[in-house]
């Protein structure tokens, strides 16, 4: 069974200005690498649907959802800033709805056994979006929307969300902290943007702050120490991934020194966890990654491990 690859051309219509690093070319870099590496032939493509209001309200307050809809500009030459680094253009709302909808479709596909795993090649990313606030290039929390969809629609009792973006998944933590149905693991450079994650006391949250210049050896050791025993004991029925690749040594958005073999390693650990406990069901959502070449290579490696070639 091959992997579901979920995206939509609307995700290319979200643009935050000429000098912003979160650009449509990120998706082009991934698709180009998929073709060049031969991975394109090993996936089935799906168009992401738009998330419904009901799906969004599982993760976000109604007032916040209304605010995002109302803030979306209609004119093509207008940018509306909802946070210091997060802007909306006329194409943003559609892209954000497709990004959240991709996560719910991914859940539907793996829960119906049409695919064992799904990768959501979407933007804007989601893991900084809190229950009532946009920030860090994020509007709706895609992975949280997907996880809560899995719980409410399919009656799952245990969903793991693993976030290996170089920035703390503060939005996901804000939404799921205290929810015993979800185990949330997040590794990140600290101290660094957004400055959170070092002091959460929720028993279902495992934060792993790591210093600048963390390399693959240190990253793997931290995952083996902090995450793997807890994940094994939790025995998730579904594994969801916030897949951020901005910790790559070539990415100047942060100061980690990870490379493709490190992303292959962590993906393999999570895939094997899913094989043992979740009938191999994995849904991965793209988060960060801004060096285009490194992003394309890393995502291709990630998908290869999800397929099970590693």
Measured CA to CA, the distance from residue 219 to residue 39 in angstroms comes to 27
Residue 242: phi and psi, rounded to 5, are -90, 100
Q: What is the CA radius of gyration of the chain?
A: 17
Catalytic residue among 14, 116, 128, 149: 128
Q: C-alpha 100: how far from its chain's center? A: 10
> Known catalytic residue: 128?
yes
* β-bridge partners, 249: none
* Inter-residue contact 156 to 180 (CB < 8 Å): no
CA distances from 205 to 20, 68, 173, 270, 305 (A): 31, 28, 7, 17, 25
Where b means 16+ CB within 10 Å and e means fewer, 85-100 reads ebbbbbbbbbbbbbbb
For 257, counting Cβ atoms within 10 Å of its Cβ (0-12 exposed, 13-18 middle, 19+ buried), the class is middle
CA distances from 160 to 47, 116, 170, 189, 228 (A): 25, 16, 16, 21, 11
* Inter-residue contact 299 to 307 (CB < 8 Å): no
Count of CB atoms within 10 A of residue 78's CB? 12
Could you tell me the two tokens for 143? 């992975």
CA distances from 118 to 29, 67, 168 (A): 19, 30, 23
Q: Annotated active-site positions, please?
A: 128
């Amino acid at each position: 069974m091959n992997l579901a690859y979920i995206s939509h051309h609307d995700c290319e219509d979200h643009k935050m200005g000429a000098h912003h690093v979160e650009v449509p070319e990120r998706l082009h870099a991934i698709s180009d690498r998929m073709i060049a590496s031969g991975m394109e032939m090993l996936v089935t493509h799906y168009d992401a649907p738009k998330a419904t209001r009901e799906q969004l309200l599982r993760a976000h307050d109604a007032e916040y959802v209304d605010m995002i809809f109302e803030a979306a500009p209609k004119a093509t030459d207008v940018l509306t800033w909802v946070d210091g680094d997060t802007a909306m253009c006329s194409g943003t709302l559609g892209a954000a709805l497709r990004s959240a909808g991709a996560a719910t479709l991914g859940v539907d596909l793996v829960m119906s056994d049409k695919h064992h795993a799904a990768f959501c090649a979407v933007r804007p990313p989601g893991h900084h979006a809190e229950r009532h606030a946009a920030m860090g290039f994020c509007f709706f929390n895609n992975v949280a929307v997907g996880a809560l969809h899995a719980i409410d629609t399919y009656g799952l009792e245990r969903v793991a969300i693993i976030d290996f973006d170089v920035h703390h998944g503060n939005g996901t933590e804000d939404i799921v902290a205290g929810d015993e149905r979800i185990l949330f693991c997040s590794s990140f450079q600290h101290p660094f943007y957004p400055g959170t994650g070092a002091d959460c006391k929720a028993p279902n949250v495992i934060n792993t702050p790591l210093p600048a210049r963390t390399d693959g050896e240190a990253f793997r050791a931290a995952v083996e120490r902090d995450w793997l025993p807890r994940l094994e004991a939790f025995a998730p029925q579904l594994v969801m991934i916030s897949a951020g690749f901005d910790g790559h040594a070539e990415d100047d958005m942060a100061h980690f020194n990870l490379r493709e073999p490190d992303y292959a390693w962590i993906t393999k650990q999570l895939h094997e966890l899913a094989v043992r406990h979740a009938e191999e069901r994995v849904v991965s959502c793209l988060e960060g990654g801004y060096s285009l070449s490194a992003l394309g290579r890393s995502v291709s490696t990630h998908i290869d491990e999800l397929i099970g070639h590693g």
